[in-house]
Amino acid sequence: MDVNAAVAAAAAIAGVCTGVIAMLAFRWSERDQKRPTRTSLHTDAVLPPGVDTVLSVLRSSAVVLDEADAVVKASSAAYALGLVRGGKLAVEPMLQMARDTRRDGEIRQVELDLPRRGTGRGDALAVSARVAPLGSRLVLLLVEDLTEARRIEAVRRDFVANVSHELKTPVGALSLLSEAVMDAADDPEAVERFAGRMQIEATRLTNLVQELIDLSRVQNDDPLEDAEPVRVDELVTEAIDRCRHQAGTKQITMATNMAAPEGLEQGGGGRRAGGTADLHIWGNRGQLAAALGNLVENAVNYSPARTRVGIAARRVSAPGGDLIEIAVTDQGIGISDRDKERIFERFYRVDPARSRATGGTGLGLAIVKHVAASHGGEVTVWSSEGQGSTFTLRLPEAGAARDRGPSPTGITDLDGEESGEPDHDPENDTHTAQHDREARETRAPIPAPEVLP
């Protein structure tokens, strides 16, 4: 009996001890759950109310640091710029600014050039960093990327310098020539010679100012506001007419697969290689004519005498819709690989001496590039030194003009209007449709550059 009582007492004591231990463990667990952890000290709990929301909508890269220089909060842009790595601020000058601001509470700002992350290139990333205190223990760092703004400013500065130089040359020449005319007032031949030079410089100055105006309009205006279906053969005709005198002087033959103006077979003429009068481009007629005219004019100016300049157009299929390709091919001096990367820059010339002799301003190809881009197209170049160049203008086809198709009579005039009412013959419908398909499929391709003896 005494043994059983002792066992029961021991069991009761053991049960009480187990209950006490369990209760203490439960209390200890609750206290641990309420105690702030090391992680929670560096999260949103320590940020002032609303700061997290404000940082999430800022365009600048944002980083919040605590008193131990640990990153409490960082935006995705800060990680993209490489400012934060491994939970630490990776840019030493910014880290030192944060420490100084935490010590004296003053707001600091500085511009820095940082290496681009993972590019391996020598160019730097220009940023503006601003540090301010955030509460009693935190520091806020805001970083703005200035790289694109710096690039635009450099382009603007170079453009102003180039314009000033280009304007100074003819203006200076006019000033000197006017003094020469005054000194040679008693020599009619000298006055006539100097007056001719003055006219050349005045024309050069006028062309430069006009091309500057054209470039400004192309960059600032929306060409599709006044867009219309423009016939490609009419653009080619205008370009040939524009360069007729220069081509005739150098005995350059201009070959095209479009309907060229009559009377131009010799010395700047054109020969028709196939019918492509159904090609239309949707855009601003004036800008398109200026772009194609610049390409043809360059081809004539940079071609030796008694050579050929080819202008060809065709329709090509593309995933986003059919495109119209207009290729201008010459047999000139060609363009080196180094120059091909820069020929579409404003005021850049492959051969400055030849460009000045022909009155070039260095803006023609820049205008072509902007016209192509504003119309949803592109301009590309193929060239080989000593063999010539081919500039290809690709622009979206005028869908409305193509969908309109031929008139029911099958006879249209140059304006696309019906010119007659011939008798309808149902038996010829199938034959006519098949003939039209064959004609489209066998349309003459753009000719390759040809070297004439």
Tell me whether residue 234 is in a domain. Answer: yes
pLDDT in tens, 6-48: 666 776 676 667 766 767 666 666 555 544 443 333 444 467 7
Domain co-membership, 254 together with 360: yes
Tell me whether residue 8 is in a domain. Answer: no
Task: Give the span between the Cα atoms of 291 and 365, in whole angstroms.
Answer: 8
Task: Give the span between the Cα atoms of 319 and 211, in whole angstroms.
Answer: 35
pLDDT at 449 exceeding the cut of 80: no
Average pLDDT over residues 281-310: 91
* Res 158: pLDDT: 76
Residue 398 is which amino acid?
A
Tell me whether residue 132 is in a domain. Answer: yes
Average pLDDT over residues 202-217: 80
The residues facing 20 across adjacent strands are none
Token output for 19 = 């209950």
pLDDT in tens, 113-134: 888 765 445 567 889 999 999 8
Tell me whether residue 193 is in a domain. Answer: yes
Average pLDDT over residues 399-428: 39
Torsion of CA 82, 84, 90, 96, to 10 degrees: 120
Specify the range with the lowest mean pLDDT, choosing from 24-33, 63-72, 94-103, 420-429: 420-429
* Res 426: pLDDT: 41
Name the domain boundary from 201, 220, 239. 220
pLDDT at 206 exceeding the cut of 90: no
Name the domain boundary from 199, 220, 241. 220
* Res 428: pLDDT: 43
Domain co-membership, 310 together with 379: yes
Domain co-membership, 210 together with 308: no
Element (H, E) at 299: helix 285-301
Average pLDDT over residues 88-113: 90
pLDDT at 403 exceeding the cut of 70: no
**Structure confidence at residue 452 as a pLDDT band (50, 70, 90):** very low
In this structure, are strands 378-384 and 308-316 parallel, antiparallel, or unpaired?
A: unpaired
Domain extent at residue 117: 42-145
pLDDT at 310 exceeding the cut of 80: yes
Domain co-membership, 174 together with 278: no
* Res 117: pLDDT: 63
Q: What is the CATH number of the domain that holds 62?
A: 3.30.450.20
C-alpha distances in Å from residue 316, one per residue of 135, 137, 321, 424: 64, 66, 9, 33
pLDDT at 292 exceeding the cut of 60: yes
pLDDT at 258 exceeding the cut of 80: no
Q: Residues near 271 by Cβ (< 8 Å), separated by ≥ 6? A: 253, 255, 256, 260, 265
Domain co-membership, 193 together with 56: no
Threshold 0.75, pTM exceeds: no
CB 379 within 8 A of CB 394: yes
Specify which of 242-251, 271-280, 336-345 reaches the highest per-range mean pLDDT: 242-251
Q: What is the CATH number of the domain that holds 163?
A: 1.10.287.130
Specify which of 94-98, 182-186, 212-216, 224-228 reaches the highest per-range mean pLDDT: 94-98
* Res 270: pLDDT: 44
Average pLDDT over residues 131-138: 87
| Average pLDDT of the residues of the chain | 76
Q: Residues near 410 by Cβ (< 8 Å), separated by ≥ 6? A: 422, 432
Task: Output DSSP code: residue 48.
Answer: P
Domain co-membership, 355 together with 331: yes
- Give the total number of structural domains in the chain: 3
pLDDT at 395 exceeding the cut of 90: yes
Tell me whether residue 432 is in a domain. Answer: no
Q: Which comes out higher in pLDDT, residue 269 or 50?
A: 50
pLDDT in tens, 314-336: 999 888 888 999 999 999 888 88
Q: What is the CATH number of the domain that holds 290?
A: 3.30.565.10
The residues facing 324 across adjacent strands are 315, 395
Specify the range with the lowest mean pLDDT, choosing from 4-8, 13-17, 388-392, 419-423: 419-423
Domain co-membership, 125 together with 152: no
Average pLDDT over residues 402-425: 38
Specify which of 167-171, 266-270, 291-295, 433-437 reaches the highest per-range mean pLDDT: 291-295
Task: Give the span between the Cα atoms of 184 and 186, in whole angstroms.
Answer: 5
Percent above pLDDT 70 for the chain: 70
Task: Give the span between the Cα atoms of 232 and 244, in whole angstroms.
Answer: 18
pLDDT in tens, 330-377: 998 888 888 888 888 887 777 665 555 555 667 888 889 989 998 999
Domain co-membership, 109 together with 156: no
Average pLDDT over residues 433-440: 42
Tell me whether residue 428 is in a domain. Answer: no
Task: Give the span between the Cα atoms of 172 and 90, in whole angstroms.
Answer: 55
Task: Give the span between the Cα atoms of 209 and 286, in whole angstroms.
Answer: 17
Domain co-membership, 75 together with 177: no
Name the domain boundary from 377, 401, 425. 401
